[in-house]
């Protein structure tokens, strides 16, 4: 993905007929893969509390999700994804209020920044793509639908569009909302992300730390309710 692209997404709970419905709508199965995600944060979860999510994905490298601009409400969320080491390191130093640590890469700054592994799990993913009829692929982004099953028994789906400019976000939101409706997703459904469910099940103290922090300050996107999270 190009550096600094804006990810607009909505998570949902897939049903037994979701893949069949995607086929009916003209979707095509791109691939099925299995991968491990490892998330890193400080012992106090400083990144997550500021709505930043640092992940190393098997086969893909490092990614830092950062909060997008305000103004996205409802079941949708918007993030900027950083995927180059220099950009990630610079943002980490900014969020953690640390001095610039040079160009040694993300792995080299984990220890100096006090970052440690907080979650690790394997996901089986089926990735679908589809284009609304009449759309020009050169001008209109494909909609992507990922159907994930984590190795701790949780299944979640995600409808996603990637755009280059803030001005494109409203159109992307409209397309995501339309597709979600066609997939039978309730209008206000907010499915938890895999990471948050992992913390809730296996690191309940960290999960409670996030909830408590968000009751006294600005809440990261998707943490409005214990059952509705994004990460």
Average pLDDT, the chain: 84
Q: What is the mean pLDDT of residues 146-172?
A: 92
Whether 175 has a binding-site annotation, put simply, is no
Q: Is 203 annotated as a binding residue?
A: no
Low-confidence winner among 3-7, 18-22, 90-94, 151-155 (lowest mean pLDDT):
3-7
**Within a domain: residue 143?**
yes
Q: 194-202 and 204-216 helices cross at what angle (nearest 10)?
A: 120
Kindly give, in sequence order, each residue whose CB lies less than 8 Å from that of residue 74, ignoring residues fewer than 6 positions away: 188
Q: 56 lies in a domain?
A: yes
pLDDT tens digits along 102-112:
667 999 999 99
The Cα 168–Cα 68 span in angstroms is 13
Give the pLDDT band (50/70/90) at residue 135: very low
125 annotated among ligand-binding-site residues: yes
Within the chain, residue ranges assigned H as helices are 18-24, 46-49, 85-95, 106-109, 169-182, 194-202, 204-216
Whether the CB-CB separation of 210 and 199 falls below 8 Å is answered with yes
pTM of the predicted structure, to 2 decimals: 0.81
- pLDDT tens by residue, 59-93: 899 999 998 754 444 445 678 889 999 999 999 99
Q: Is 78 annotated as a binding residue?
A: no
227 located within any domain: no
Q: Which residue has the higher pLDDT, 31 or 135?
A: 31
- Number of domains the chain contains: 1
Q: Is the pLDDT reported for residue 228 higher than 50?
A: no
- Of the candidates 78, 84, 90, 223, the residue with the CA atom closest to the CA atom of residue 163: 78
The dihedral over CA atoms of 49, 91, 42, 67, expressed in degrees to the nearest 10, equals 20
How far CA 83 is from CA of 57, 184, 188, 217, in Å, comes to 11, 33, 31, 28
Instruction: Give a yes or no: residue 78 inside a domain.
Output: yes
- Domain residues for 124? 6-216
Structural domain includes residue 120: yes
CATH of the domain at 176: 2.40.320.10
Task: Say if 115 falls within a structural domain.
Answer: yes
* Distance in angstroms (rounded) separating the CA atoms of residues 122 and 128: 19
Residue 117 marked as a ligand binder: no
42, part of any domain: yes
Per mean pLDDT, which of 148-162, 176-190, 213-227 is the most reliable?
Answer: 148-162
pLDDT at 227 over 80: no
Using the predicted structure, report yes or no on whether residue 39 has a pLDDT greater than 60.
yes
Does a structural domain hold residue 222?
A: no
pLDDT tens readout for residues 196-210: 999 999 999 999 998
Higher pLDDT, 101 or 4: 101
To the question of whether residue 160 is assigned a binding role by annotation, the answer is: yes
- pLDDT for the residue numbered 24: 94
11 is in an annotated binding site: yes
Is 140 within any annotated ligand binding site?
no
Does 57 appear as a known binding residue?
yes
């Amino acid at each position: 993905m190009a550096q600094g692209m804006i990810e607009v997404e909505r998570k949902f709970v897939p049903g037994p007929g979701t893949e069949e419905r995607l086929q009916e709508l003209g979707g095509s199965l791109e691939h099925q893969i299995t991968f491990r995600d490892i998330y890193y944060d400080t012992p106090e979860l400083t990144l997550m509390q500021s709505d930043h999510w640092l992940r190393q994905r098997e086969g893909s490298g490092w990614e830092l999700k950062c909060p997008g601009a305000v103004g996205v409400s409802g079941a949708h969320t918007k993030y900027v994804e950083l995927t180059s080491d220099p950009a990630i390191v610079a943002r980490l130093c900014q969020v953690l209020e640390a001095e610039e640590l040079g160009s040694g890469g993300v792995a080299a700054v984990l220890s100096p920044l006090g970052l440690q592994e907080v979650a690790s799990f394997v996901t089986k993913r089926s990735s679908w793509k589809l284009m609304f009829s009449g759309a020009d692929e050169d001008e209109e982004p494909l909609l992507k639908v990922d159907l994930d099953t984590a190795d701790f028994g949780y299944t979640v789906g995600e409808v996603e569009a990637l755009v280059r400019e803030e001005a494109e976000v409203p159109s992307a939101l409209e397309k995501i909302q339309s597709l979600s409706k066609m997939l039978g997703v309730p209008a206000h459904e907010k499915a938890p992300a895999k990471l948050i469910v992992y913390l809730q099940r296996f690191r309940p103290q960290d999960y409670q730390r996030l909830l408590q922090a968000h009751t006294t300050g600005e809440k990261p996107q998707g943490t409005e309710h214990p059952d509705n999270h994004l990460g």
